[in-house]
Amino acid sequence: MFDFHEKRKIRSVLYSRPVIGVILLVTILLSISAYNRYTVAKEMEVKLESRKQELEELKERAHAIESKVEYLTDERGVEEELRNRFDAIREGEQVIILLEERGKNVIDDIEVTDAIDTGKSFWQSLIDTFKF
């Protein structure tokens, strides 16, 4: 009989309203904490994906910059870059400026067949077309 009375006391304490309230409160607090951790984990996944994409873009950019640096370390690359940016020429080179008349195309004025038929060299016929 003694065991029966002790079990009854323990059950009455465990099933009492204050104990059930405390257990319910602990369950709610644990649920809220678990939900917060879940949302933080999802945010971190999104940030990780965006950082991976950013890393790939930076790697591509670094590769492009490395190829540009390699290009500019070569003498030919430096010369080409100078010509493109500053319209520079070497000593002994001449600049030819082609002008178009309004409404008329310069390509229509050049006749390659004349150079072949007359026996002139291509360069001579090209010089003749640019004489004014």
Task: Print pLDDT tens along the chain (132 aa).
Answer: 557 778 788 888 888 999 999 999 999 999 999 999 999 999 999 999 999 999 999 999 999 999 999 998 988 888 888 888 887 777 888 777 778 776 655 455 454 444 444 566 777 777 777 775
Q: In the structure encoding, which two tokens stand for residue 130, read together?
A: 């640019």
Q: Which residues contact 100 (CB under 8 A, 6 or more apart)?
A: 106
d(CA 106, CA 40) in angstroms, rounded, equals 68
* Dmax (CA) of the chain: 134
